[in-house]
């Protein structure tokens, strides 16, 4: 699998033959080699999921916008996934105005995609939720121009969930799993969301907008609420390239993990270690929630300058009620500035193997730490 991973190249937009192709002869000494062996097929399906996540990350934003992303997800129905796509009108009817507010400055409509895998019995599914900002300009709170081209990868959480669901279906795992992704483009425009706006989320909570470049948590707020109320999952894991503060705290060695469940946290840590996609648990708590108090709405969506990744996670926690939940801030892991022996420069596909290992070894969990807001 490592050899397949290191051989990955994204070459869709080259007009001339690739110079990356090489003639390699592989000699395997064994009396029991069978390419059709179930273990080989399983690894191939897993790598297909990783490669899909990487492909999605590499795509430029003029090619991969919310509707196109959703269409690619619909193609996974051939693997047995039940795929449902909600457009702007459907989400507006549900009251998903936190998500829709992020995308209202873009000429591209937003989408939410649900990918349902019914591989188990009658048990509630494990839910995987991903942030999919296909391009993040910052909106009215515009980002600096330098480095903005990298903001095409702000859909890394959605890419990881999509790749994970492709692998789960391709491997035929005997568990019920549902993947949900919120897809938006965050752009400045005369109709764009403004700092000081107040939006009503699907949960009914009102949110004061402070900075339109803190958009991903608004997307996740509605998707998390929809997920919990619609599917009543036994646990939820969300993934998002959510905060630069996470990179400041942990660098690019770990994803930050926040959870209300010790059992879920332990399983994610074990899965991360086993797949070399490590996570590091971070705190939640009342003191951080206090930073989110608003004078004009139920909550404001960012806190003060300190502990930004923690207050972002606390904001998300307000949109999960009684379900064991974990948030993975993968800002430092979804994209790599350099190639390694197994990871290309660019989109890493981080999270696909971790989530598959989590489902492989899944054990029921409980909520250990009720919200202290």
Domain around 332: 2-360
d(CA 133, CA 353): 22
Chain centroid to Cα 316, Å, comes to: 13
Here the CATH number for the domain that contains residue 296 is 3.40.630.10
Nearest Cα neighbor of 355 from 163, 148, 111 is: 163
pLDDT tops 90 at residue 31: no
126 close to 199: Cβ distance less than 8 angstroms: no
In a domain, 258, yes or no: yes
Query: Active site residue: 143, 205, 252, 281, which one?
Result: 143
d(CA 231, CA 236): 10
In a domain, 261, yes or no: yes
Q: By mean pLDDT, which of 19-23, 269-273, 278-282, 349-353 is the weakest?
A: 19-23
- Tell me if residue 54 is catalytic: no
In a domain, 31, yes or no: yes
In a domain, 334, yes or no: yes
In the chain, how many domains are there?
A: 1
The C-alpha angle with vertex 113 and arms to 103 and 237, in degrees rounded to 5, equals 100
The pLDDT tens digits of the residues spanning 92-106 come to 999 999 999 999 999
d(CA 157, CA 219): 12
Q: Which structure tokens are listed for 316?
A: 């998300």
Nearest Cα neighbor of 184 from 109, 268, 119 is: 109
d(CA 48, CA 54): 10
d(CA 130, CA 354): 14
In a domain, 186, yes or no: yes
pLDDT for res 3:
47
The pLDDT tens digits of the residues spanning 325-372 come to 999 999 999 999 888 877 878 999 999 999 999 999 999 999 999 999
d(CA 318, CA 315): 5
In a domain, 10, yes or no: yes
The pLDDT tens digits of the residues spanning 275-318 come to 999 999 999 999 999 999 999 999 999 999 999 999 999 999 99
In a domain, 365, yes or no: no
pLDDT tops 80 at residue 125: yes
Q: Which structure tokens are listed for 267?
A: 């399983």
DSSP three-state, residue 28: coil
The pLDDT tens digits of the residues spanning 33-91 come to 555 678 999 999 999 999 999 999 999 999 999 999 999 999 999 999 999 999 999 99
pLDDT tops 60 at residue 30: no
Query: Active site residue: 152, 217, 333, 357, which one?
Result: 217
- Tell me if residue 217 is catalytic: yes
Q: How far is CA 362 from CA 144, 278, 291, 348, in A?
A: 42, 17, 35, 24
């Amino acid at each position: 699998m490592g050899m397949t991973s290191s051989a990955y190249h994204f070459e869709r937009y080259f007009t001339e033959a690739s110079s990356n192709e090489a003639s390699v002869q592989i000699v395997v000494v064994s009396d029991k080699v069978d390419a059709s062996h179930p273990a080989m097929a399983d690894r191939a399906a897993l790598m297909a999921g990783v490669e899909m996540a990487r492909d999605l990350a590499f795509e430029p934003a003029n090619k991969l916008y919310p509707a196109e992303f959703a269409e690619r997800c619909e193609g996974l129905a051939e693997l047995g996934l039940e795929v449902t796509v909600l457009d702007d009108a459907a989400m507006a009817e549900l009251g998903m105005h936190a998500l829709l507010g992020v995308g209202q400055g873009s000429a591209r409509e937003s989408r939410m995609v649900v990918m349902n895998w019914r591989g188990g019995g009658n048990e509630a599914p494990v839910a995987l939720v991903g942030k999919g900002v296909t391009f993040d300009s910052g909106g009215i709170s515009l980002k600096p121009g330098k480095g903005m081209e990298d903001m095409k990868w702000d859909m890394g959480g959605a890419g990881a969930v999509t790749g994970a669901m492709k692998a789960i279906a391709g491997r035929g795992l005997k568990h019920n799993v549902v993947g949900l992704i919120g897809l938006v483009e965050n752009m400045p425009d005369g109709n764009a969301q403004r700092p000081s706006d107040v939006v009503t989320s699907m949960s009914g909570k009102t949110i004061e907008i402070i900075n339109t470049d803190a958009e991903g948590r608004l997307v996740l707020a509605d998707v998390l609420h929809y997920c919990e109320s619609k599917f009543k999952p036994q646990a939820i894991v969300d993934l998002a390239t959510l905060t630069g503060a996470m990179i400041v705290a942990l660098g690019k060695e770990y994803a930050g993990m926040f959870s209300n469940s010790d059992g879920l946290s332990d399983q994610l840590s074990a899965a991360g270690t086993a797949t070399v996609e490590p996570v590091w648990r971070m705190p939640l708590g009342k003191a951080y929630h206090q930073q989110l108090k608003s004078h004009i709405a139920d909550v404001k969506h960012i806190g003060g300058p300190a502990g930004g990744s923690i207050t972002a996670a606390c904001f998300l926690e307000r949109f999960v009620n009684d379900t064991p939940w974990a948030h993975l801030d993968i800002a430092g892991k979804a994209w790599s500035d350099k190639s390694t022996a197994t990871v290309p420069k660019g989109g890493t596909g981080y999270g696909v193997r971790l989530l598959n290992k989590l489902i492989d070894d899944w054990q029921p969990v409980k909520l250990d730490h009720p919200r202290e807001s």
